[in-house]
Structure 1
Amino acid sequence: MSESLASAGKTDGGSRAYRTIVVGTDGSSSSLRAVGAAAGLAAATGATLVLACAYLPMRESERAAAADRLGELAYKVGGSTPADDALRAARERAVAAGATRTVLEAEEGEAVDVLVRLAERHRADLIVVGNRGLNSLAGRLLGSVPSAVTHRAGCDVLIVHTTPGGRS
């Protein structure tokens, strides 16, 4: 971690660094790259790392279809279980990257809403998101999580380059 990035949160003559960092994950490889970057920054600054995963409830018809196909493993697709699984993987990545204080937060809702809400609840100094969606047609037309978070967050936002493309 570079010294300039580790001290990026210092605002009052160098006496304050990031204390709480929120990072979103959905369990994808690109989101886990963002988790690794956030964990490295948390390790360098001594910050608490809040690992956040948003989820939406399954419609009953989807849950029933999954239950038919999965049998006794159907519980793995209901409620917050997929989010909990993503958070366990994220914690493993964060610990491997040096984070020592982690908090896991699976919360129902859209990703942007959940990230902003958790940042407020934990009084975060920084939200870390991957760049996924910024360079896609869907992201330009519908908006992307990174773009929306930067507009709504009440704290710093770090967008980590986690996907190919867009880098010169």
Structure 2
Amino acid sequence: MFFINKTKYTVNILRGDTGPEIVAFVNTHHYDCIVIGSRGLNQFQSLVLGSVSHKIAKRVNCPVLIIK
């Protein structure tokens, strides 16, 4: 038996600095949740480079699910 999921979704392509662009876009629209991936940097890389997914999670006005 097969089930077909009929979930509605949209794809938006943004240009610019990743974190601020996503935060600005999400905060000007209404979303129930954002799902974003994480590259899994080690502790030193995260300290030096920062993590886009964590920056987004701190600044958007909705729940964020970070997938590793």
Q: Compute the TM-score of the two structures, normalised by the length of structure 1.
A: 0.34
The one-letter amino acid of 1:110's match is D
Give RMSD over aligned pairs.
2.2
Q: Partners of 1:143 and 1:132 in 2: how far apart? A: 11
Q: Percent identity?
A: 32
Structure 2 SS opposite 1:122: coil
Match for 2:28 among 121, 130, 140?
121
Question: Which structure has the larger Rg?
Answer: 1
**For 1:31-70, what per-residue CA distance to the aligned partner results, in whole angstroms no more than 9, with x for missing partners?**
xxxxxxxxxxxxxxxxxxxxxxxxxxxxxxxxxxxxxxxx
The one-letter amino acid of 2:62's match is C
The ranges of structure 1 where at least 4 consecutive aligned residues each deviate by more than 6 angstroms after the TM superposition are none
In structure 1, the gaps of 5 or more residues are 1-96, 162-168
Note the C-alpha offset of 1:100: 2.8
Higher helix share: 1
Say which structure, 1 or 2, has more relative contact order (CA 8 Å, 6+ apart).
Answer: 2
- The 8 Å contact of residues 14 and 22 in structure 2, kept in 1 or not, is answered as no
Q: Could you say which residue in structure 2 is the equivalent of 1:135?
A: 42
Note the C-alpha offset of 1:111: 1.5
How many pairs does the alignment contain?
A: 65
Note the C-alpha offset of 1:136: 5.3
Q: Could you say which residue in structure 2 is the equivalent of 1:146?
A: 53
Match for 1:105 among 5, 9, 12?
12
The one-letter amino acid of 1:147's match is H
The one-letter amino acid of 1:108's match is R
